[in-house]
Amino acid sequence: MKQRIIKRESIRKKEDFKKDLQEGIWLKSKFYNFCFKRNNLNFCRIGIIAKKEIGNAVRRNYERRIVKEFFRQNKTLLDYNVDIIIFIKKNVNKFNKTFFLKKKEDFLEILKKINDILR
């Protein structure tokens, strides 16, 4: 069966976003800004913010899908249950394979840093 992000793994409420952004720890990378905070749940949650400066709706949704897929594939790398809010940064609009792989490497580096900080 194909894995996917289920509803409970998404941060949807405005109050949850605000609380995590106020109390969370910030990390910055080339493509993303991460804000994370431990949660008392038995699973990790993700929230994605893509501002209009990134591009039109098609571009923003593409970027969100990429981040969701990275999270889905690598959420088992996290040793702790955390809420992660990801701000997608504006960057050069490239759709080639090497650019995609750079984004993935960037995402994985941040997940490793999150584990190191929470230890």
So what's the pLDDT on residue 68?
Answer: 93
Distances from the Cα of 7 to the Cα of 13, 14, 47, angstroms? 12, 15, 11
Could you state, in chain order, the average pLDDT of each consecutive group of 10 residues for the chain (119 residues)?
74 93 94 94 94 91 92 91 94 72 93 93
48-75 burial, b if ≥16 CB within 10 A, otherwise e?
A: bebeeebeeeeebeebbebbbebbbeeb
Stated pTM of the model: 0.89
So what's the pLDDT on residue 1?
Answer: 44
So what's the pLDDT on residue 2?
Answer: 56
So what's the pLDDT on residue 8?
Answer: 87
So what's the pLDDT on residue 113?
Answer: 96
State the helix-helix crossing angle for 97-118 and 57-74, rounded to 10 degrees. 50
Q: How far apart are the C-alpha atoms of 55 and 30, rounded to whole Å? A: 18
Q: Does the domain formed by 7-118 have CATH 3.30.230.10?
A: yes
Q: Where are the domains of the chain?
A: 7-118
